[in-house]
Amino acid sequence: MNQHRPDTSLADAMPQRLGDQGFHRVGILHHPKKPESIQLGQQIAAFLRAHGLEEIWFESAWESEAVLEHLPNVDLLITLGGDGTLLRAARLGARHNVPMLGVKMGRLGFLAEIFPDDWQAPLTRMLQGSYWVEQRLMVRVRLERSPAEGAPRASLCEYDALNDVVLSRGGLARVVRISVQLDGGYLTTYTCDGLIVSTATGSTGYALAVGGPILPPELRNILVIPIAPHLSMDRAVVLSEGTEIRMRAYSDHEAMLTVDGQFVVEVREGDEIMVTGSPHLARFIRMRDRSYFYRTLMNKLRGPSTQEGE
Amino acid sequence: MNQHRPDTSLADAMPQRLGDQGFHRVGILHHPKKPESIQLGQQIAAFLRAHGLEEIWFESAWESEAVLEHLPNVDLLITLGGDGTLLRAARLGARHNVPMLGVKMGRLGFLAEIFPDDWQAPLTRMLQGSYWVEQRLMVRVRLERSPAEGAPRASLCEYDALNDVVLSRGGLARVVRISVQLDGGYLTTYTCDGLIVSTATGSTGYALAVGGPILPPELRNILVIPIAPHLSMDRAVVLSEGTEIRMRAYSDHEAMLTVDGQFVVEVREGDEIMVTGSPHLARFIRMRDRSYFYRTLMNKLRGPSTQEGE
Amino acid sequence: MNQHRPDTSLADAMPQRLGDQGFHRVGILHHPKKPESIQLGQQIAAFLRAHGLEEIWFESAWESEAVLEHLPNVDLLITLGGDGTLLRAARLGARHNVPMLGVKMGRLGFLAEIFPDDWQAPLTRMLQGSYWVEQRLMVRVRLERSPAEGAPRASLCEYDALNDVVLSRGGLARVVRISVQLDGGYLTTYTCDGLIVSTATGSTGYALAVGGPILPPELRNILVIPIAPHLSMDRAVVLSEGTEIRMRAYSDHEAMLTVDGQFVVEVREGDEIMVTGSPHLARFIRMRDRSYFYRTLMNKLRGPSTQEGE
Amino acid sequence: MNQHRPDTSLADAMPQRLGDQGFHRVGILHHPKKPESIQLGQQIAAFLRAHGLEEIWFESAWESEAVLEHLPNVDLLITLGGDGTLLRAARLGARHNVPMLGVKMGRLGFLAEIFPDDWQAPLTRMLQGSYWVEQRLMVRVRLERSPAEGAPRASLCEYDALNDVVLSRGGLARVVRISVQLDGGYLTTYTCDGLIVSTATGSTGYALAVGGPILPPELRNILVIPIAPHLSMDRAVVLSEGTEIRMRAYSDHEAMLTVDGQFVVEVREGDEIMVTGSPHLARFIRMRDRSYFYRTLMNKLRGPSTQEGE
């Protein structure tokens, strides 16, 4: 386990201090399609070794099983890639409480902390203990299916997601009807392209694109918002992390469940999808002050041509 | 050709009169999956014969080729089904200027004029000449593809659509980038789930579900509106019918083009999609007064189920 | 103080039990412009007396001072009127923790529990202890002004609001610029008609009308959302109850601060408005089950008049 | 009257040629609160005189009566100020068909054609005949009032507006109910802060701030869109220029009618407001190519911090 002691240099944060015991074992995840991420990973490893850290391993972020083997014995996970790489790392690392540090190597990037052209100064601050840990809610989704007609449903699979879980139509059919229950009480039935169940982290992703509100990262709320609702409920609903959201899809064709925009599970007729707050939190190492989020947000909202002042 | 003389009974409309020459030859299209539509079609045919119309034929709305053979020699097309059936009929019948009369047999229905439980009175009014013809703009879409790398693009296929044309991501990849030119001038590049190019008729369909404005049926404008735009242009743009809209899709995966929500064409890298107003208009027989549209609209907006359970 | 013991009849609620000590002293607030509210108040008083409650007083909901005198010694406040009457009662009663029970006598009504044509049954259930207490976050707003140029700002006035606090342009000038800081960090500057800072309760009020998300009543979040933002940040932001929101208005003309839509304070150049969660909660007596909120919501969203005229 | 002959240098425009007869008499309107606008006006006048134009007069854009006296005998109106100055000029000059040329001296500016730091080159092009005339629809609003209870309504005042006409609540009361008829058919009753009736020109102004679609300048449509609609119709409606829009306001307090955001008329109970396309068009001199509008639009949408590349 990591140990964190107070850092007196960041007055407005809940700071954490790197002691002798912290960050001994570091994993570095590169993006398999970005050679520059391997190169940068090696530079960072050399830098860390020069500062006395010895146990450093490398892995492709896509090699889930290899990464999972390492995770029980790691104090810090450095990811080199876009937000997608951090989403992967979060799903893998959450149950081990591993803090993550993202180096942004893609176009988007609400989650990364460090930029490829300026990584030594922030890493040095981190090693000196000038950092804080941002904890973000994840959602847990469970797909329940009946083994046979009339038999009770059983859990078919279960995942944690840092951004969102989307229940949507499959390829062709445009419309799916999705009924929703909140803590056992009926909410409504949406006629739509799909329904997004998002965390605060996901509120700047797909949910934002369909008109959702912004939730700052530390907020432990769950957001439910439809994609292209047709003559049905069109507002986002903000819920507490403990709410149990239960969905069923009705469609002429198949429906599908997408987790963090990264993988898809087919949903059959009669299946139920249950989402609620995950017991695991994603943990991010931050050296910037706490208002970094709104600065990044306002820069992104200004559109692609605006340069990122971060 | 149909001949229409003024009808003095509907002061606020531009009415059309059925003379001796009108509506001799009637086609009745049923919905192949709704047996009740066959039954009702036969009742309507008997009713029309009793009123002296002799040339009546039946066909499934899905049998495009059989319908197309009839179309050059038909004065009126009666469709029994939902809006989907009328959309099919419009695409088939537009180039022959055939007036259509929709009998609503589905849940939705912005286009139908007659309801199954009250069809004799309006049909009688129509036969007496108390009707008007509503003409609606269609859009024409053309997919252009290069036969080989570097070769000029050629038209691959071309369709008329009464509702909308949608260029969107395929199954898995969430985001597609779509660049748009209007009359040769660059507009913007959307990062989105897809882009809808819609007629006034389509403005109460998919475009409505993504936040678009309402255009009454007689408006000859084209609406361009993105689905789930991510940190890019998120407003609808209303254009004149003569505007040439040219789109290109950029995606890691395939993109697809959907016409009236009814069929799909695969779009490859490098393809261009061109949309503009069609030279053909869809023509609908109306017996209700001209404000029927807003009444129907306001009823739909109030939602599908309406009793107050409080 | 009221004492509440568990109620075993409502399994899904956190029920409260009326013991011998509860609800002895009841205040009834009528609406001064609705004579029928006085009449119904007397009927309810007679009913309560018949059930052994002796200390009952009447007052107009608009007589703040008279009501305030009573409040330290009251166990239940029954209001007869619309949501406006309950908003008043909440502001007055919050600091005394007085539970409120609303009888709906207006068109709108998200807050009321009882309806004029069916009040005896629910009141009986309440007296039998079959009720629960819904606690709702209020926001506290403080207007700070400098006594003189360059002097430090001092608190000019302070209010609690159950719905919302709105900083907006005055009568004529259309646009005001409002800069916002969250916990001391700069968020953005809105160019807009005004800015709404709303509770969950207010999320179904003015905030809903400008596109805000729905927050169920028990959520202790604060919502910030602009009215008619012009080429500036147009999304709602959801915050935790402890966030300190600091606003300044820049306008050629005056700006104004509206509290719960009920009264207005003029805002001068240089003033700062600070909003955060109030230490007081509004407390509502409920006999309906906890999913009442979503049922009411979905009914409201369907619109005021609902018959299909088609 | 101005005479315009074809210009062969701008192939994609409907160009106009300055002959010997064109642009003899030029009015220059400055902004009374911007001294730099007087200075620039004098420089432009000297420039024009050097090119042989003799009849040049100056006036403050706010001196309506003085301007109106000049207007029957003017070939070109140059305005120095923001969009507000051009809106004024358009209202005054429309009935005389005077072409306008805007020099942008304010922060905003969708209408201006020339920028203070680069005016000689475009003015030279104009004098050489390389320009086109953009014609924009205006709306005409008429307020009708009964002289006495029960007496028929009479026209109280009538204005042309280039941007929009807004019927809204007065200062305090938050909500006004506004019923709307289109060509005599009932549309709906809005519960809202106000209702905007906008031209294409106004679609990038107030209407944009409440979620409206973009209409390019040449579109002769009218846009109806509510401000903060509460549980009532919340979509924009796009209409043809000939539609007669008739509104009535119902409120506990007064309502008001704002024309182009520039002046206000008090609306009493029982008044009716009628809006339709004006017979006059606003005419703007353009030297930039026709896609200038979308370039300006996309720059504005990117937010205030993005520099204007125009």
Name which of C188, C211, C239 is nearest A216 (Cβ-Cβ).
C239
Helix residue ranges per DSSP H, D104-240: 120-127, 206-209
Predicted pLDDT of residue A23: 82
How far is Cα B241 from Cα B279, in angstroms, rounded to an integer? 10
Residue C293 pLDDT > 80, yes or no?
Answer: yes
Q: Name the active-site residue from D83, D160, D164, D260.
A: D83
Q: Name the active-site residue from A7, A83, A164, A193.
A: A83
Are D147 and D274 part of one and the same domain? yes
Angle at A264 between CA A263 and CA A266, to 5 degrees: 160
Q: How far is C38 from chain A (nearest CA, A)?
A: 36
Residue predicted with more confidence, C208 or C173: C208
What residues of chain C lie within 8 A of the CB of A185, using their CB? Answer: 289-291, 294
Look at residue A8 and tell me if it is in a domain. Answer: no
| Mean pLDDT calculated for residue range D135-151 | 91
Tell me the pLDDT of chain D averaged across its residues: 87
Are A111 and A46 part of one and the same domain? yes
How far is Cα B163 from Cα B205, in angstroms, rounded to an integer? 7
Chains touching B, CB cut-off 8 Å, 3+ pairs = A, C, D
Are A70 and A106 part of one and the same domain? yes
Are B86 and B46 part of one and the same domain? yes
pLDDT band at B6 (very low <50, low <70, confident <90, very high): very low
| Mean pLDDT calculated for residue range D227-251 | 96
pLDDT in tens, A190-247: 999 999 999 999 999 999 999 999 999 999 999 999 999 999 999 999 999 999 999 9
Residue A256 pLDDT > 70, yes or no?
Answer: yes
Give the closest residue to A110 by CA, choosing from A204, A7, A191, A47. A204
| Mean pLDDT calculated for residue range B123-133 | 94
Q: How far is Cα of residue B192 from the mean position of the Cα atoms in its chain? A: 24
- Residue A291 sits at the chain C interface (C-beta within 8 Å): yes
Name which of C115, C301, C310 is nearest B296 (Cβ-Cβ).
C310
Predicted pLDDT of residue A79: 94
Are C196 and C112 part of one and the same domain? no
Residues 6+ apart with CB under 8 A from C168: C176, C193, C194, C195, C227, C255, C256, C258
- Residue D309 sits at the chain A interface (C-beta within 8 Å): no
Asked which of A196-205, B294-303, C3-12, C137-146 is least confident by mean pLDDT, the reply is: C3-12
How far is Cα C64 from Cα C94, in angstroms, rounded to an integer? 13
What residues of chain D lie within 8 A of the CB of B211, using their CB? Answer: 211
The segment with the largest mean pLDDT, out of A68-82, B214-228, B245-259, D117-131, is B214-228
Name which of B174, B208, B231 is nearest A261 (Cβ-Cβ).
B174
Are B43 and B73 part of one and the same domain? yes
Mutate to test the interface with B, among C103, C291, C306, C307 (most CBs of B within 10 A): C306
- Residue B32 sits at the chain D interface (C-beta within 8 Å): no
- Residue A307 sits at the chain D interface (C-beta within 8 Å): no
Does the beta-carbon distance from D235 to B294 stay under 8 Å?
A: no
- Residue D302 sits at the chain A interface (C-beta within 8 Å): yes
| Mean pLDDT calculated for residue range A285-301 | 91
Q: At what angle do helices D35-50 and D120-127 cross, to 10 degrees?
A: 40
Q: What is the DSSP string of B239-287?
A: EETT--EEEEEE-SS-EEEEETTTEEEEE-TT-EEEEEEEEEEEEEEE-
Tell me the pLDDT of chain B averaged across its residues: 87
A residues 193..222 contacting B (CB < 8 A): 193, 205-206, 208-211
pLDDT band at C4 (very low <50, low <70, confident <90, very high): very low
Q: Can you say whether residue B60 is alpha, beta or left, with left for phi > 0 and alpha for psi between -120 and 50 degrees?
A: beta
Are C246 and C164 part of one and the same domain? yes
Asked which of B37-46, D82-91, D206-215 is least confident by mean pLDDT, the reply is: D82-91
B83 is catalytic: yes
As for how many domains chain A has, the answer is 2
Residues 6+ apart with CB under 8 A from D55: D24, D25, D26
Are D85 and D173 part of one and the same domain? no
Q: Which residue has the tokens 């009457």?
A: C85
pLDDT in tens, D183-235: 999 999 999 999 999 999 999 999 999 999 999 999 999 999 999 999 999 99
- Residue A185 sits at the chain B interface (C-beta within 8 Å): no
Are C108 and C223 part of one and the same domain? no
- Residue B72 sits at the chain A interface (C-beta within 8 Å): no
| Mean pLDDT calculated for residue range C254-275 | 93
Q: Which residue has the tokens 């935790």?
A: C240
Residue C56 pLDDT > 90, yes or no?
Answer: yes
Q: Where are the beta strands (DSSP E) in chain D?
A: 4-5, 15-18, 25-30, 55-60, 76-81, 99-104, 131-145, 154-161, 164-169, 176-182, 185-192, 194-198, 221-227, 237-240, 245-250, 255-259, 263-267, 272-286
Predicted pLDDT of residue B38: 93
Predicted pLDDT of residue A134: 96
Which residue does chain A place closest to D307, by CA atoms? A306
Residue B106 pLDDT > 80, yes or no?
Answer: no
Does the beta-carbon distance from B206 to A303 stay under 8 Å?
A: no
What residues of chain C lie within 8 A of the CB of D170, using their CB? Answer: 171
CATH code for the domain of A179: 2.60.200.30
Predicted pLDDT of residue B24: 87
Does the beta-carbon distance from D304 to C261 stay under 8 Å?
A: no
pLDDT in tens, B146-172: 888 788 889 999 999 999 999 998 876
Using a pLDDT cut of 70, give the percent of chain C over it: 89
Give the closest residue to A273 by CA, choosing from A116, A155, A105, A111. A155
B294 sits in which H/E element: helix B292-301
Predicted pLDDT of residue A254: 83
- Residue A303 sits at the chain D interface (C-beta within 8 Å): yes
Residue B17 pLDDT > 90, yes or no?
Answer: no
pLDDT band at C307 (very low <50, low <70, confident <90, very high): very low
What's the sign of the alpha-carbon dihedral A295, A300, A302, A306? positive
Does the beta-carbon distance from C172 to D264 stay under 8 Å?
A: yes
Look at residue D87 and tell me if it is in a domain. Answer: yes
Predicted pLDDT of residue A309: 29
Residues 6+ apart with CB under 8 A from A42: none
Name which of D170, D209, D258 is nearest C228 (Cβ-Cβ).
D209
Rg (C-alpha) for chain C, rounded Å, is 21
Look at residue B3 and tell me if it is in a domain. Answer: no
Look at residue A306 and tell me if it is in a domain. Answer: no
Look at residue D309 and tell me if it is in a domain. Answer: no
Are D33 and D161 part of one and the same domain? no
Look at residue B310 and tell me if it is in a domain. Answer: no
Residue B55 pLDDT > 90, yes or no?
Answer: yes
pLDDT band at C302 (very low <50, low <70, confident <90, very high): confident
pLDDT band at A148 (very low <50, low <70, confident <90, very high): confident
Predicted pLDDT of residue C173: 64
For residue A259, the SS3 value is strand
Q: Report the C-alpha dihedral over residues D149, D154, D160, D163, rounded to 10 degrees.
A: 30
Predicted pLDDT of residue D26: 95
Residue D260 pLDDT > 90, yes or no?
Answer: yes
Does the beta-carbon distance from A305 to D305 stay under 8 Å?
A: no
Name which of D210, D261, D300 is nearest C231 (Cβ-Cβ).
D300
Asked which of B282-286, C75-79, C90-94 is least confident by mean pLDDT, the reply is: C90-94
Which residue does chain B place closest to A301, by CA atoms? B231
Range of the domain at D115: 4-130+287-301
For residue B120, the SS3 value is helix
CATH code for the domain of B100: 3.40.50.10330
Asked which of A15-29, B144-158, C11-25, C60-74 is least confident by mean pLDDT, the reply is: C11-25
Query: A213, C223 in Cβ contact below 8 A?
Result: yes
Does the beta-carbon distance from A182 to C235 stay under 8 Å?
A: no
Q: Tokens in use for D292? A: 């200038």
Tell me the pLDDT of chain A averaged across its residues: 87
How far is Cα B107 from Cα D188, in angstroms, rounded to an integer? 23
Are C292 and C268 part of one and the same domain? no
Look at residue C78 and tell me if it is in a domain. Answer: yes
pLDDT band at C309 (very low <50, low <70, confident <90, very high): very low
Give the closest residue to C88 by CA, choosing from C116, C107, C60. C60
What residues of chain B lie within 8 A of the CB of C306, using their CB? Answer: 302-303, 306-308
What residues of chain C lie within 8 A of the CB of B299, using their CB? Answer: 308-310
Residue A17 pLDDT > 60, yes or no?
Answer: no
Are C99 and C160 part of one and the same domain? no
| Mean pLDDT calculated for residue range D70-78 | 92
Predicted pLDDT of residue B148: 82
Does the beta-carbon distance from B214 to D223 stay under 8 Å?
A: no
- Residue C279 sits at the chain A interface (C-beta within 8 Å): no
What residues of chain A lie within 8 A of the CB of D309, using their CB? Answer: none
How far is Cα D288 from Cα D296, in angstroms, rounded to an integer? 11
Look at residue B4 and tell me if it is in a domain. Answer: no
ipTM comes to: 0.90
